[in-house]
Amino acid sequence: MIRDIVTIGHPVLREATRRITADELSTPAVQQLIDDLIDTMRNANGAGIAANQIGEPLRITVIEVNDNPRYPYKPRIPLTVVVNPVIEPIDDETVVINEGCLSVPNLRGDVSRNVNVRVRYLDRDGVPHDEIMRGLTAGTFQHECDHLDGTLFVDRVTDTRTLTTWEQFERFHRAAFIERITAFVERVGS
């Protein structure tokens, strides 16, 4: 079921979410919540969505990138259900990514992200995963894990002069960003 997306200013986006137990994960209610996250993300053309973005303060996020009209330069990410994630950088390499967010309507801005991260999480069946993510894919995981800690991308915009509406991004910033980020994706491979 497609759910309403909570927007910036709602306190649920500013609270750390709660880890869930293996028993909770297997309940119909939580499995339904995961399905709702997937439906809501796809309906909004998001690259990911966190449970608190639909008002549920649980440590669950879903991520998927196909041919995404919001972010056409992002490499594909298969549908990934991420429960109780722990994310950590594995080195100091960073990249500046122009980000947007379903909970911050019509705004984008430049954020520095780690290029290489380790992510440990459970999938929807409770199976543990321990994976290395790189490049824009690592950026997407960092954005979604930030949500689960009550952090929004705007908190990480250090140069507020990079803030732009989607319309002005298209007009004035898209070409340069696409050129830079496409070269980055080719170098990093994701």
- Residues lying near Zn ion in the complex (CB under 5 A) are found at 101
* Annotation says 64 is catalytic: no
Q: Would you say 155 or 159 has its CB closer to Zn ion? A: 155
Q: Report the alpha-carbon angle 85-120-111, nearest 5.
A: 60
- Closest residue to Zn ion in the complex (CB): 101
C-alpha span between 60 and 129 (Å, rounded): 14
Q: Which of 144, 167, 170, 179 is catalytic?
A: 144
Q: Would you say 38 or 90 has its CB closer to Zn ion? A: 38
Shortest Cβ 147–Zn ion spacing (Å): 6
Shortest Cβ 107–Zn ion spacing (Å): 11
Cβ 65 vs Cβ 77: under 8 Å: yes
DSSP state of 76: P
Shortest Cβ 140–Zn ion spacing (Å): 9
Q: Record the tokens describing residue 139, joined without a space.
A: 């950026």
Residue with tokens 């290395």: 132
Q: Would you say 55 or 183 has its CB closer to Zn ion? A: 55
In 3-state terms, what secondary structure has residue 190? coil
Please give the sequence-ordered ranges of beta strands (E in DSSP) within the chain, or none if there are none: 48-50, 60-65, 77-89, 94-101, 104-114, 116-122, 128-134
* Helical ranges in 44-172 per DSSP H: 135-148, 166-168
C-alpha span between 113 and 143 (Å, rounded): 9
Q: Record the tokens describing residue 48, joined without a space.
A: 């990911």
Q: Torsions phi, psi of 184, nearest 5?
A: -65, -45
Q: Would you say 90 or 154 has its CB closer to Zn ion? A: 154
Residues with catalytic annotation? 144
